[in-house]
Amino acid sequence: MPGHTDVVVIGAGSSGLNAAHRLRQLGKTVTVIEARGRIGGRAYTDTTTFGFPFDRGCAWLHKADDNPYTPLAKQWGYTLQEHDTALEGLYFRGAEAPDEMRKLSARIEAGLDERIAKAGRKKDVAASTAMKKRSRVDEAVATFHGPMSSAVDLDELSAKDYLTIGTDVPPNFLIKEGYGSLVARFGKDIPVSLNTPARRIRYGGPGVQVETGEGTLTAKACIITSSTGVLAAEKIRFDPPLPPWKEDAVAGLPMGLLAKIPLQFSKPEFRYKAFEDVLRENIGKRDIYFLCWPFHLNLLVGFVGGDFAWELSAAGEAEAVDFGRNAARSVFGSGVDQYFVKGSFTKWASDPWALGAYAAAIPGSAGAREALRRPLAERVFFAGEACAPRWTQTCGGAALSGIETAELVASVVK
Ligand SMILES: Cc1cc2nc3c(=O)[nH]c(=O)nc-3n(C[C@H](O)[C@H](O)[C@H](O)COP(=O)(O)OP(=O)(O)OC[C@H]3O[C@@H](n4cnc5c(N)ncnc54)[C@H](O)[C@@H]3O)c2cc1C
């Protein structure tokens, strides 16, 4: 690790890697430190559990016509498949909803989307205030807009913040080789000190000093890309301490949770076709969405989100896989059991360097994103999905945040 550089970038996820890349293009010297033993952060493709690529974190390349990763994916020959989440199957507990009800849900979805946006343009209220009715179909639609997309239940989401979120902005593409592998490929030539968490940042005098277990780094400025979960847990200490407005920004952007329950079967695609989407709505918000057989793999990817995802994470992997299998039985029939091979569960809730999936502003805190990205003393800068200038919550938004923050830093640090 070089002892002194222009900029220290803390974190080698999508935003940190893009920040470092842009700073180097702009002629700045950079040290990147990463707490984990790998790069990519919440962009991570696991190739060992199932023997084929499975994205434990981000999977959809959102807003693909304008996403900085799209040209790279094309240039490097990645396999892209356009995919939206229109439902091919809707279930209320064990019973399949009639076709008209499923079509009604699509119409309600468009309406709710507009109403939340309209409410958000006026006031910083909870997104749930835009729900007119509470029929079963309304609840199903709210599940999609809330837990499965924004990673929080709609009553915990600011309608104003909803306008900034990029988690379902089309065109959306899935990547066969994995979004995580694309981010890792982008970052492979950027020198990163792995297993090097930043513990303390001193910024009271000239420049910054970043204390790590491997020694102290000095620089003219630093860019912090840790999630708001990591910041709220005070895994980095600040000297002087963070001002109250910055602490409020972190508190206003708590981490939501989206968790995946991938289930592998020995039988090729059955009941639903590859890339079809099924939602099973349940009593007490124990809802699950299945992405069926992506890329014709023998894999159902279950998703749970919001409060229920936290609950299931606390219960543990065995419980989560059991829940997923039960839900699969109610959608695909009890016969699915004979084909079951193995299941898994993503653990972003307890991952010490994420502590959730992505940040959502609570009602009344829509301004928190702007405050989070506001630098301290023109030396301590913040980037990442929670600070993204647009398409917040997403990997592409995190990349943009890294690039724009790097440009700002380069203009300030001479
Ligand atoms: C289950 C799930 C599904 C998702 N699905 C999608 C999707 O389909 N499409 C999409 O676009 N987005 C999706 N996302 C969101 C997307 O993954 C994130 O928005 C994006 O990857 C965040 O990038 P980042 O650089 O802001 O943060 P991170 O990826 O978290 O990077 C920050 C890095 O900093 C490191 N770090 C933290 N603290 C320290 C420290 N003190 N010292 C050193 N290093 C530190 C961390 O280890 C991490 O590597 C999903 C996320 C999850 C969890």
Q: What is the pLDDT of residue 2?
A: 65
For residue 242, give the DSSP letter. Answer: P
CA-nearest residue for atom 15, ligand 1, is 394
3-state secondary structure of 64: coil
- Per the CB < 8 A criterion, the answer to whether 286 and 323 are in contact is yes
What are the backbone dihedrals phi and psi of residue 140, each rounded to the nearest 5 degrees, phi first?
-65, -40
CA of 84 to the centre of ligand 1 (A): 22
Pairing, β 208-212 against β 95-96: unpaired
Q: What is the pLDDT of residue 29?
A: 97
- Residues having CB within 6 Å of any atom of ligand 1: 10-16, 33-36, 41-43, 57-60, 62, 197-198, 225-227, 230, 235-236, 258, 260, 346, 348, 353-354, 357-358, 384-385, 393-396, 398
CA of 41 to the centre of ligand 1 (A): 5
Q: What is the pLDDT of residue 139?
A: 86
CA of 10 to the centre of ligand 1 (A): 12
Count of positions (residues) in the chain: 414
Q: What is the pLDDT of residue 350?
A: 98
- Per the CB < 8 A criterion, the answer to whether 13 and 384 are in contact is yes
Residue ranges covered by each domain of the chain: 4-59+179-253+361-412, 86-167+258-343
Ligand 1 atom closest to residue 303's alpha carbon, by position in its atom list: 1
pTM: 0.97
Domain range 4-59+179-253+361-412, CATH class: alpha beta
Number of H helices, E strands in the chain: 12, 22
CA-nearest residue for atom 50, ligand 1, is 58
Give the integer Cα–Cα distance in Å for 288 and 375: 39
Give the integer Cα–Cα distance in Å for 43 and 56: 8
For the chain, 414 residues long, give each residue's pLDDT as a single digit of tens: 667 999 999 999 999 999 999 999 999 999 999 999 999 999 999 999 999 999 999 999 999 999 999 999 999 999 999 998 789 999 987 799 999 888 888 888 888 889 999 999 999 999 999 987 778 888 888 888 899 999 999 999 999 999 999 888 999 999 999 999 999 999 999 999 999 999 999 999 999 999 998 899 999 999 999 999 999 999 999 999 999 999 999 999 999 999 999 999 999 899 999 999 999 988 667 899 999 999 999 999 999 999 999 999 999 999 999 999 999 999 999 899 999 999 999 999 999 999 999 999 999 999 999 999 999 999 999 999 999 989 999 999 999 999 999 999 999 998
Residue to mutate (ligand 1; options 21, 55, 58; most atoms within 8 A of CB): 58
Angle at 369 between CA 364 and CA 374, to 5 degrees: 125
Residue to mutate (ligand 1; options 38, 42, 255; most atoms within 8 A of CB): 42
Q: What is the pLDDT of residue 1?
A: 65
Dihedral sign (CA 139, 145, 151, 152): negative
CA of 106 to the centre of ligand 1 (A): 30
CA of 45 to the centre of ligand 1 (A): 12
Q: What is the pLDDT of residue 284?
A: 63
Residue type for position 260: K
CA of 262 to the centre of ligand 1 (A): 20
Q: What is the pLDDT of residue 141?
A: 87
Structure tokens at 244: 């109250």
Give the integer Cα–Cα distance in Å for 120 and 146: 15
Q: What is the pLDDT of residue 401?
A: 98
Give the integer Cα–Cα distance in Å for 139 and 146: 10
User: Look-up: residue for tokens 């992506």?
Assistant: 294
Closest by Cα among 19, 52, 1, 36 to 296: 52
User: Look-up: residue for tokens 């094309």?
Assistant: 74
